[in-house]
Structure 1
């Protein structure tokens, strides 16, 4: 039996619609990323479940299709997949619909299991498979109120870092002066106060890095129609002077330049000042999630 853990698609992996005809003559379609193919098999990985192994003899047609469209009205799991691609970790795999991620231990997102979709194993077995891949205990990222959170809590996992995902349409905003680089330079890193391990996780996905003088920085990464904003930091001595709002405006300008239609960001529930800032700029809550570890 093929291993349930498979390579995770990346930005170069083609998404296809494959039509197959079974021995009975029935036609069916499977949509997902084409992760492997040889003279005997084609392996298609849908985003929400395990791989479908299709014998070459059953393949009728294969055509490329765009990535799934995710809107502000889409479900939490769809939006989490968007966010995942903008902070992907350094090593990745798929267990059914779950995304296994490993980095340098600096950020929870890059070092956790995104529990979306169906792992196609009972919960305890899925966690055990993820722990084997990780060579140790895993942290689960689960949508608040969802099935996976409930299973984790029942299995003795404890939640931490409750986080709000906020969304807004992109659009023209106030003009603000800023500098843009494709890789964080020394000046950007100095304001961000970012350690090397977290920096390595940040640059694992393409992004624009913005800086306003030596007082504020931010990061914007695009996935599909979405620009995900992160790493918004203001130098401690310059806080309370409006530089955070200026950087938020700059990130919005950059998002529009990059062609994004929607903005998304995440902030921990306890960060009341950031939540107030984002609310004042038109962001609304989409969903919440937390990270869960064994008690």
Structure 2
């Protein structure tokens, strides 16, 4: 906190500091016999009508009246991460999007509108990478029309927690009634340590997701649209020629049974992206997930990749323990905001 030469706490932020990273101390229980202080660090995303809103690294927003402020100052950007490959948010956003391609896309300025018949929010949401080329309200109206024409709800994918992310856009969407439905984390790590894991299980690699692989995949009833997303970019598959290289891994189960474990990897330049790493519940804690990732990592290394990324749900503690052990660390958090219900109904009436 900011302390003056006389030892007093001081508020050294104003509404002009909106968009900057700040550290504040406020009274969380003003007027009570035992007043308590609360410290908050994040991006000052708004200061309107005497109310401040700060968006934290996790994406959570904290609102409080300016009358509760005890101290505050602008602070430097978060220090650079010391582990994992260096990467900007924009680089990772583009790479992760190419690793899970929609069936249809269109650009609105620097916003990519993506659709794939509703298969996953990632392939059916807007990826804002800059200026949409028009005021925000007009851009959001165009987004709602585009998705409404396809019979889909409008989603915007935003991010927090890394340099160049979109805390201000999160705040503006919330202000307009858009609802954050789900958040997940993007983790990165060096590829070689994953590939160096000892070989054990008989991991089979293939260019396409066959019926056996799909039998283990958690999303049941996979449509033709979903298969196009899963195979996007793969030579010999349904992806674009010259796009990322896609591999599917599986550990055979018993006779006539689904694979004991599966995984998917997309090799795109220096990056290898892991997804759909799933294990038969009866075979968990046998190292099969690590074996699948190691086999895919060795294939990715052979194709010239050196860094890895993956996405994990914020509450999946078991997966986080696995990925931490493999040398991955969190890079940023992304969120999917859904259009307000009343606007969605109007847009499709």
Q: Measure the CA separation in 1 of the matches of 2:128 and 2:282.
A: 39
Q: Secondary structure at the match of 2:301?
A: helix
The question of 1:173 aligning with 2:189 is answered no
Q: What's 1:128 paired with? A: 141
1:182 aligns with one of 187, 207, 210: 207
**Residues 269 and 304, structure 2, Cα contact 8 Å, conserved in 1:** no
- Tell me the residue number matched to 2:92: 79
Q: Cα distance, 1:78 vs. partner?
A: 2.2
8 Å contact from structure 2 (residues 185, 312) kept in 1: yes
> Residues 30-109 of structure 1 correspond to what in structure 2 (within 5 A)?
72-109=85-122
Name the CA distance, whole Å, in 1 between partners of 2:328 and 2:269.
19
Cα deviation for residue 175 of structure 1 reads: 3.9
State the TM-score, normalized to the length of structure 1. 0.72
Residues 218 and 229 in structure 1, CA contact (< 8 A), matched pair in contact too: yes
More strand by share: 1
Deviations 1:208-233 (A, max 9, x none): 10111220110111222111111111
Correspondences of 1:154-233 after superposition (within 5 Å): 154-171=175-192, 172-176=195-199, 177-194=202-219, 195-197=221-223, 198-206=226-234, 207-213=246-252, 214-233=259-278
Q: Secondary structure at the match of 1:196?
A: coil
C-alpha separation between the residues in 2 aligned to 1:277 and 1:166? 12
Deviation for aligned residue 1:240? 2.6
* Aligned counterpart, 2:288: 243
Offset, 1:241 = 2.3
1:101-120 Cα deviation digits (max 9, x unpaired): 00021211011111221111
Q: TM-score, normalised by structure 2?
A: 0.61
- Work out the number of aligned pairs and report it: 225
**Aligned partners of 1:290, 1:281: CA distance in 2, in Å?**
25
Conserved 8 A contact 1:116-1:142: no
* Secondary structure of 1:211 counterpart: strand
Deviation at 1:124, TM superposition (A): 1.4
Q: Distance in 1 between matches of 2:185 and 2:169?
A: 17
Please tell me whether residue 266 in structure 1 is matched to residue 311 in structure 2.
yes
**How far off its partner does 1:200 sit?**
3.4
- How far apart, in 1, do the equivalents of 2:218 and 2:190 lie? 30
1:239 Cα deviation after fit:
1.9
Q: 1:151 aligns with which of 166, 172, 193?
A: 172
1:180 CA displacement: 0.9
Q: Find the counterpart in structure 1 of residue 336 from structure 2.
A: 291
* 8 Å CA contact 1:192, 1:235 repeated in 2: no
SS at match of 2:272: strand
Q: How far apart, CA to CA, are the structure 1 residues paired with 2:205 and 2:315? A: 30
CA contact under 8 A between 1:192 and 1:234: conserved in structure 2?
A: no
Distance in 2, matches of 1:74 and 1:247, equals 25
Q: Deviations over 1:21-55 (max 9, x none)?
A: xxxxxxxxxxxxxxxxxxxxxxxxxxxxxxxxxxx
Larger of the two Rg values belongs to structure: 2
Superposed structure 1 runs of 4+ greater than 6 Å apart: none
Q: Which runs of 5+ in 2 are unaligned?
A: 1-83, 235-245, 253-258, 341-349
* Structural RMSD (CA): 1.7
What is the Cα deviation at residue 184 of structure 1? Answer: 0.7
Contact in 1 for aligned 2:203/2:291 (Cα 8 Å): no
Look up the SS of the partner of 2:186 in the other structure: strand
1-structure distance, mates of 2:269, 2:170: 27
